[in-house]
Amino acid sequence: MTSRLHNVSCETFQYHDNARGDTPAYRFSVAPMMERTDRHYRRMARLMTRRTLLYTEMITTGAIIHGDRARLLEIDPIEKPISLQLGGDDPIEIAESIRIASQYGYDEFNLNVGCPSDRVQHANFGACLMADPPKVARIVEAMKSATDLPVTVKHRVGIDGRETYEQMVSFVKTVASAGADRFSVHARIAILDGLSPKENRTVPPLRYEDVYRLKRENPDLVVEINGGITTIDDVLEHLIYVDGVMVGRAAYDNPFMLAAIDSVVFGDPASTITRGDVVRSMTPYIAECSERGMNPTPVIHHLLGIFAHRPGTRKWKQQLSGRRIEPAVAALAVARALEAVPADTANETAVN
């Protein structure tokens, strides 16, 4: 969805060129999340942050090669900077996927070596690839051969059976030798036998010190940390030790945290956008999605957390998630739900 939808925005806000300045976009990123970081979420995020590196949901090589490429890969320029996360284990297919995707304007390509789901394991990619560092290196070599853009790897500190710091370092160095430009490290191991993906996000203990040590002992590597990071203060603390911070569920459940990022992390002037402005700016987009025959429910779902932890959030969620909303009245339903939010909450900026 491009062109006209790009112009549906809150035009009164002054945004800053996302390529401006010397601070790389990966200084702060929103993690790739299935059924969350789709084009609708990314559009909403861009109302609050122009500098953050955004990711697609993971897209498999098979889907790109054999599926509806335009539907899967098209992005709006407003979504940039953006990384395409790929899932697969065949170097030839990975390279072909990158060649196909290169025409769509992505800024970098990321290899998923962190997903622990059974479905992904059965396809022999994701976190289980950490058991075979040379294979990951071959995949990265193939990716580098297909693009001049950065190639990055998202992985865990380990998997069951390969849990030590030394094994993580061996994995990273093997993959770095193939040309990987950045390592996004989820600071937990993935337990591939016995835990669900949800449990793998919370049950294995966080090992932040191992990620810090990886950067400290290998200063030439670009290291980004991920896992259990929920606040701006957390972000700033981690940035003392690593090159970048990747936030996942917190940036979805409480998306308005993004409104502070350009100022706090990248040094831009403080944003003037309010929580209510985000909703008002997305409302015509919801209407246009409905007019085009698209289901507006996922767009509305991304907005549910915009008033997180603030007065009025429960009623906001109840009005929008407790019943089916017909596409023809979706935008009106959102506007009416906003009217029920206390003015002090709706008018909050990131610096209130």
Provide the token pair at 128. Answer: 């289980």
Q: State mean pLDDT over 243-265.
A: 99
Residues 292 and 223 in one domain: no
Q: For the chain, how are helix, strand and coil distributed in percent, rounded to 5?
A: 50, 15, 40
Q: State mean pLDDT over 75-92.
A: 98
Instruction: Give yes or no for a contact between 311 and 345, defined as CB atoms under 8 angstroms apart.
Output: yes
Domain endpoint, select from 264, 284, 318 = 264
Q: How confident is the model at residue 332 (pLDDT cuts 50, 70, 90)?
A: very high
Q: H helices of the chain, where?
A: 39-48, 61-66, 69-73, 91-101, 118-122, 133-146, 165-176, 197-200, 208-217, 232-238, 249-253, 261-264, 275-291, 297-303, 313-321, 330-339, 343-346
Residue 249 lies in a domain: yes
Q: State mean pLDDT over 260-282.
A: 98
Instruction: Give yes or no for a contact between 279 and 331, defined as CB atoms under 8 angstroms apart.
Output: no
Among the ranges given (18-32, 201-215, 226-240, 254-268), the one the predictor scored with the smallest mean pLDDT: 18-32
Provide the token pair at 95. Answer: 């390279």
Give me the pLDDT at residue 11, please.
35
Residue 68 lies in a domain: yes
Q: State mean pLDDT over 169-177.
A: 99
Q: State mean pLDDT over 209-217.
A: 99
Among the ranges given (4-13, 115-124, 126-135), the one the predictor scored with the smallest mean pLDDT: 4-13
Do β-strands 151-159 and 108-113 pair in parallel, antiparallel, or remain unpaired? parallel
Instruction: Name the more confident of 123 and 301.
Output: 301
Residues 96 and 188 in one domain: yes
Average pLDDT of the residues of the chain = 94
Question: 44: closest CA among 291, 277, 329, 332?
Answer: 277
Give me the pLDDT at residue 18, please.
46
| pLDDT at residue 13 tops 90 | no
Residue 270 lies in a domain: no
User: Distance between CA 271 and CA 50 in Å, rounded?
Assistant: 10
Give me the pLDDT at residue 352, please.
65
Q: Which residue has the tokens 């809150």?
A: 10
Q: State mean pLDDT over 163-189.
A: 99
Residues 155 and 286 in one domain: no
Residues 139 and 195 in one domain: yes
Residues 61 and 188 in one domain: yes
Residues 178 and 217 in one domain: yes
Residues 183 and 57 in one domain: yes
Q: State mean pLDDT over 45-51.
A: 98
Residue 351 lies in a domain: no
Domain endpoint, select from 243, 264, 285 = 264
Q: State mean pLDDT over 50-64.
A: 99
Q: State mean pLDDT over 170-194.
A: 98
Residues 243 and 312 in one domain: no
Residues 238 and 299 in one domain: no
Q: State mean pLDDT over 343-352.
A: 93
Cα–chain-centroid distance for residue 38?
Answer: 9
| pLDDT at residue 12 tops 60 | no
Name 28's bridge partners.
245
Residues 201 and 303 in one domain: no
Residues 256 and 286 in one domain: no
| pLDDT at residue 3 tops 90 | no
Residues 172 and 72 in one domain: yes
Question: 342: closest CA among 316, 312, 318?
Answer: 312
Domain span holding position 234? 3-264
Name 247's bridge partners.
30
Question: 84: closest CA among 43, 114, 54, 62?
Answer: 54
CATH of the domain at 322: 1.20.120
Provide the token pair at 24. Answer: 């790389």
Residue 269 lies in a domain: no
| pLDDT at residue 50 tops 60 | yes
Give me the pLDDT at residue 151, please.
99
| pLDDT at residue 35 tops 80 | yes
Residue 217 lies in a domain: yes
Reported as a single tens digit per residue, the pLDDT across 272-298 is 999 999 999 999 999 999 999 999 999
Give me the pLDDT at residue 74, please.
98
| pLDDT at residue 69 tops 80 | yes
Instruction: Give yes or no for a contact between 257 and 250, defined as CB atoms under 8 angstroms apart.
Output: yes
Number of domains comprising the chain? 2
Residue 352 lies in a domain: no
Give me the pLDDT at residue 5, please.
37
Q: Distances in Å between the alpha carbon of 176 and those of 5, 81, 109, 134, 234?
A: 39, 23, 15, 11, 27
CATH of the domain at 33: 3.20.20.70
Q: What is the pTM of this model?
A: 0.93
Residue 121 lies in a domain: yes
Q: How confident is the model at residue 17 (pLDDT cuts 50, 70, 90)?
A: very low
Give me the pLDDT at residue 4, please.
34
Q: Which is catalytic among the residues 10, 115, 128, 289?
A: 115
115 is annotated as an active-site residue = yes
Q: Distances in Å between the alpha carbon of 71 and those of 1, 58, 68, 118?
A: 8, 14, 6, 26
User: Distance between CA 328 and CA 24 in Å, rounded?
Assistant: 41
